[in-house]
Chains A and B, each alone.
Chain A
Amino acid sequence: MSESGRSLVPVAGIQDSVLTAPMEAATEVAQQAVQRAWLNLPTYTLLGVVLAVLAISTLVARYLDHQSIPSVQPAMLKRFMLRLRAWWMMCVALVLGLMLHRVGTVILFMLLSFWALREFITMTPTRRGDHRALFLSLVIFTPLQYLLIALGSTGLEYPVGRPIDFYGLYSIMIPVYASVIIPAWIAFSNDHKRFLDRAAQIQAGLMVCVYSLSYAPALLYLDLKTSAGVDWKGSNAGFLFYFVLISQLADVLQWTWGRFAGKNVIAPSVSGSRTWEGLIGGALSTGIFGALLSWATPFQMWEAAILSMIVAIMGFAGGMTMSAIKRDRGVNDYGTLVMGHAGVLDRIDTLCFAAPVFYHLTRFFFSQ
């Protein structure tokens, strides 16, 4: 692609000198691209560890469930088993997505966003006049955001010689363009009641469920380097898996700390189970796990620890925010509204809040 583009340069005199140098660079890049496998040994190891832990936990939970004299609270066990089921589903979906390469993973996250936004809007009180703005958000903006990310996979170049990277557009489309178009669209529907509320609700839904989450698959398109500036030869798929794993681990760890050491509830009117002990203990222990798994990332151990702690804190913030919204709407779980069990949004709220921060820190310090 780049060669044919370059040969179109009309200046014949300098062509020879121009042609050779970039072509060498191009072959070098191609070799690097070959060396950077989609899935590599560390990724498979990470996956294997996760599957093993899930399998052991499932067996233990099954065993506890079949005990004649229960040694743990049945309600707690039940919740844990539901959690496990959700993790299995998450794991299987993620592996299937990763098997379908970058585009498959982007599509998987698009479906997640779509479903989460669906739950979000179903729960928020919109009015008849919002119909077309909702259509726009769910059916146009959601796929468009992911399309812009996935276009990086096409290998097309624009301008010639530079592979497409619409980061500049997808990182502002929803915060800027959607936030301009959606209120206007609602205004056109001739209904001014609770106007700012309605516009803000839809915008918030798009930001959390679509925009923020889309940074997770965007990790696959980063050209990763170590902090020393050396190209990282690992797998971006494994890196994404690492991020999802850390954010889920953080959730479990903060819950465990809150449960067994929690005393000071942060905001009782928002969430009765989220404590300072959970936040701090969860973040520190997530940092340790993150450092131990740093072989799947371009980070050194201390870098992995810091980033993992940030993921844990952002995830916690996500959980708090979603609790506040749920409390306000008077529902326990997004799923109960219609399905009788926890919904997609309950499972990915931590991911949604951690993804943009993790992406930007990685992009700034470990890319380009």
Chain B
Amino acid sequence: MKRSLPYLLLTPALLFTAFVLCYPLAQNLVNSFRDVQMVRGAGAWTGLTNYRHVFADREFWLALRNTAAYALGGTLLALAGGLAVALLLERLSAGTTPLMTSLLSLPWVISPVVAGFAWKWILNDHFGILNAWLAGAGIAGPGTSWLGNPRTALVCVMVARAWQFYPFAMVMFLAGLESIPSEQYEAAAVDGASAVRRFLAITIPNLRPVSSVLMLLGLIWSFNDFTMVFVMTRGGPIDASMVLPVLVREFSFVHFDFGKGSALSIVIFAVLALLSAIYLRVLTGRERA
């Protein structure tokens, strides 16, 4: 009894995981090798046909490029923003830091749907506050279209994504900054190192483990992000901001071709699994160090 108790206690959680995670995943994998149309139901086994259709689709390659740009650009922007704000917060007096940190963390706790709609209105060409500010400063005329321009739409969604993710990076960087031994800075000051030199030679190397974890988490979460893109642009204009999760919806719920949609989601799963494996490797390497 004593030996089996842990397994017994684990059973509900394992059953729950099997039901809500393993079963849908396995079913999705099965569907990706079958012709599954909503009206006709699951049809014949088609081998790799769905995967061939996915890779032959011009939208897939466009969405893959956009997803990579969105994930990489959004994450880098968020990390840069998070680090900048963390450095500023570190210099604030200890009394104000918690309040400022809480206020600056608000984007992280706002629902992505709400954030997406808010950004959509901020960027609205005729009624948005961004154009009002830019017009006031004489930089751009009112009516400049940000989300309606295929050249700027993806960048705008990327900025919105970075805005949502930067508080997480900020908190992590703040913790990382606090863990840097002050002796290192004192020794550098004695040696006459400038502020820039101290930042490059002490701060950045000490933050490298945090940065790599943040980078991987940011890539994984952004690669899988559906909400922000769907709310702000639905993948438009003219597919300019089409990303893979939105394309899965197109295949599955516009064409109702669940076989092709499943195949694409398995491709996304494979990419995310690879990123997660790298993440775990980085994390365990850090713990060993």
Q: Do A and B come from one complex?
A: no
What is the interface of chain A, defined by CB distance below 8 A to chain B? none
What is the interface of chain B, defined by CB distance below 8 A to chain A? none
